[in-house]
Structure 1
């Protein structure tokens, strides 16, 4: 009997005492940590305004602060650049990581990520850099290596590629060069130059005769289309701009986010009034550049401006071999890499 009373008293004291501490995460491979890293990186990519979408390679280190039913993870995650530009807004899991044939870029992000009923990115700082050309050549002697973006031959390649795209495009307006985002060179039968660049729609219509593209103003409204292009040409040995083989170019044009948002508004309004308005608007169509702006309703949150949560710093390629990296402070870290470029002793 006394044993039962003693056990009951012990149970009551335990129940009324201090709450037990939250168990620390299993490590960099634990499901809750990977969920925070993956969804946090989704939000980092959504916050970016330039550059390429980043892919998660592994969780390198972790610390945390816990509260009642919630936790904030401070993560160090290793990332790699993908082939998708941020204007595509593609999910990073659907983007191919740049390999040794695409001048790979790697880095890490320090991110503070709150996990409660939802996952919320609080802040981040990412640093990225290209794999050194010497490392690529040692692994793949025939692979392209990076070129300076301000090299005259790169500007020439971009302009020739854009000229060809404007000639073959069936879109109503001309496009102009916005900026060059990447460049590389590879020896084929001569120097082959590859360039990646962003283009933006202009106010000059394709039907306008004798258009001087340099005089065409960019369409500066939020409904202007942008595109991501890849162009190339091979210059035969014997001159900088002479004897060029046919230009190759491929551009992907993206719908402006403002247009997509407006389309969503029209869709919602249409579902509310479809029965009453069907006959009235059945034959009404908007011109591609005729847009109606709708004020934000009191219950509709305004979109958060991008680029406010953090920053991405682009560093020059590191020395070879790179400086040693500090070991993770957390147990069971780092996690397993998702991508291995096979660069020998150059570990990323």
Structure 2
């Protein structure tokens, strides 16, 4: 297993940062969560004048064998079709990244389709989708390790190019099923509370999904519930790549923008491997997918937004990015009582 060395945040700068925030021309605490965000970003970057450089959202795509068991209303082909949509700039994530000046990178982590070379696509395919975890492990330990390493390599290259703030998105039909089981096992939460409607299952479909996932957990109930065992047994190549990408981002001291249900399941695995990663994470929104609020509570995370979104792709991270910019801007540009000649309270 690749080892990621994630440094705990140095608290030496905390008091100076808090003083700078409190000295701005406003009542103490009046910018609410923006103040906490500014403090966290300043601590991550170890500076009183943080900067957001070359923000990027990486969308990892992978297929899941369990899709063939009827756990999603959409056919597996939608995964590769949406990859083409990303590459053509037609998806929601393309719209929101363009609006907010964020670069986008699309990665084939393990889509069941052979793509030709495309300048906008990173070819990191481990296999043509995972196996169905209803019958066998989704991937081998070696495949899981490969996915983690390739995800880390994508981030390492972006960091070397000057990126210091990175978000993650995903595409993979049936990946809410994988995330629900990962969540149940790693958070020790009953499976029933982790399963949602995904891309829009009706009541009958939801019942089938619950039955399939419960049977899958029974089939694999003898596995040792380590983070990597759970990931390789039930995860997807895109989830494993995000896990490695997040660990690498934290090791490089980058800000990590955490999106919704699937992305948080990848972070959950990463945090069980090295909990220091959580100090580098900004939780951008609470997904409307059942289970996400419980997963966030398990991680003691407070999301920036709650807009009823459940699309994935990194859309929550992209939509929340202006809020993160606002936190950095007020810290860097807002006058202090002293510099503005404004009387502070007696």
TM band (smaller chain): under 0.3
TM-score under structure 1 length normalisation: 0.21
If each structure's strand is expressed as a fraction of its own residues, which one has the higher value?
A: 1
TM-score under structure 2 length normalisation: 0.21
Q: Which has the larger radius of gyration?
A: 1
The structure with higher relative contact order (CA 8 Å, sep 6+) is 2
